[in-house]
């Protein structure tokens, strides 16, 4: 893939960002309030960080790090918080430390979100699995997408205990609507993640194989050096990138 970071280490960039997506600051969408009027008015959004919400997302992060370690990755989980300022994040950090004790074969570390923003740009290859609150995850996942080449490159998944939704990280891209410039790669990679997840859920090797084939076709399409998406300064649009990925898929 063509990457914005030119350092040689960046060529081996491979981390997963896990975002708790049911609570955090976003939970306030249900309870938002404005008190007072005129110049004395103040708006309040309240962050919710629950023990159960933390526990399930941290267990998921450590289990993922374990699977990745078996595939040769670092075996490390980094909790991104702001525990030096907000009590809710101090609480979250305590649950992280408690959970880490049950996964002693995995290295556990913390980083404040502002430091994480710097480190994700300066040395992102130091990370393996990052786990964080909803709002921080919303912001850092776009940063992560930028590191891997842009919004059109980044797949994502919302994974529950039994059900999951897969979609690219990006939104509706209103600034490029109708121009044929949208990069479909994130959509293909999200579909591959979906097949992989379904394959593991249902113990179906065909689905896992189909997922591997899509990933390989995308990799081969970019390895050909024929593609440079608009978001990276090139002129490969939706049709060109799709055609190339389909033709690589047909060869596998």
Binding site for ligand NAD (CB under 6 A): 150-152, 167, 170-176, 182-183, 186, 231
Sign of the Cα pseudo-torsion (45, 47, 53, 59, in order) = positive
The residue behind tokens 């939104």 is 171
Helix, strand or coil, per DSSP, at residue 202:
coil
Q: Are 230 and 183 in contact (CB under 8 A)?
A: yes
Q: Considering the complex, state which of residue 85 and residue 139 has its C-beta at the smaller distance from ligand NAD.
A: 139
Closer CB to ligand NAD, 47 or 236, in the complex = 236
Q: Is the Cβ of residue 57 or residue 187 nearer to ligand NAD in the bound state?
A: 187
Residue 175 Cβ, how far from ligand NAD at the closest point, in Å? Answer: 5
Q: State the nearest-atom distance from the C-beta of 150 to ligand NAD, in Å.
A: 6
What 3-state DSSP class applies to 94? Answer: helix
| CA angle in degrees (0–180, nearest 5) for 214-132-207 | 20
What are residue 64's phi and psi, to 5 degrees?
Answer: -65, -40
Q: How far is the CB of 71 from ligand NAD (least distance, A)?
A: 27
In the complex, minimum distance from the CB of residue 187 to ligand NAD, in angstroms, rounded to a whole number: 7
Supply the minimum distance, in Å, between the C-beta of residue 134 and ligand NAD.
Answer: 13
Nearer of residues 86 and 176 to ligand NAD, judged by Cβ: 176
Which one, 48 or 181, has the nearer CB to ligand NAD? Answer: 181
Residue 251 has φ and ψ, to the nearest 5°, of: -80, -15
- Residue 176 Cβ, how far from ligand NAD at the closest point, in Å? 4
Which residue of the chain is nearest ligand NAD when measured via CB? Answer: 171
Query: Of 75 and 152, which CB lies nearer to ligand NAD in the complex structure?
Result: 152
Secondary structure string (H, E, C) spanning 41-76:
CEEECCCECCHHHHHHHHHHHHHHHHHHHHCCCCCE
How far apart (Å, rounded) are the C-alpha atoms in residues 107 and 223? 33
- Order of strands, edge to edge, in the sheet holding 129-132? 16-19, 129-132, 76-81, 107-112
* Least Cβ distance, residue 186 to ligand NAD (angstroms): 6
Separation CA 58–CA 12 (nearest Å): 25
Residues 20/133, Cβ–Cβ less than 8 Å: yes
Residue number with CB closer to ligand NAD (174 or 178): 174
């Amino acid at each position: 893939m063509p990457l914005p970071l030119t350092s040689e280490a960046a060529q081996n960039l491979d981390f997963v960002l896990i975002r708790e997506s049911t609570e955090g600051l976003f939970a306030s969408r249900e309870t938002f309030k404005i008190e007072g009027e005129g110049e004395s008015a103040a708006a309040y959004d309240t962050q919710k960080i629950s023990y159960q919400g933390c526990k399930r997302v941290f267990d998921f992060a450590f289990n993922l790090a374990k699977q990745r370690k078996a595939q040769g990755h670092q075996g490390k989980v980094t909790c991104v918080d702001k525990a030096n300022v907000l009590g809710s994040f101090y609480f979250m950090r305590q649950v992280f430390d408690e959970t880490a004790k049950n996964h002693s074969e995995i290295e556990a570390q913390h980083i404040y979100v502002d430091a994480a923003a710097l480190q994700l740009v300066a040395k992102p290859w130091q990370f393996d699995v990052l786990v964080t609150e909803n709002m921080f995850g919303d912001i850092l996942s776009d940063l992560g997408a930028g590191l891997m080449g842009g919004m059109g490159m980044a797949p994502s998944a919302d994974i529950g205990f039994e059900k999951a939704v897969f979609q690219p990280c990006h939104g509706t891209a209103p600034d490029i609507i109708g121009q044929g410039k949208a990069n479909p790669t994130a959509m293909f990679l999200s579909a591959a993640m979906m097949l992989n997840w379904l394959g593991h859920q249902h113990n179906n090797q065909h689905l896992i194989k189909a997922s591997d084939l899509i990933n390989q076709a995308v990799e081969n399409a970019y390895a050909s050096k024929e593609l440079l998406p608009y978001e990276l300064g090139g002129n490969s649009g939706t049709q060109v990138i799709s055609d190339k990925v389909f033709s690589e898929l047909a060869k596998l």
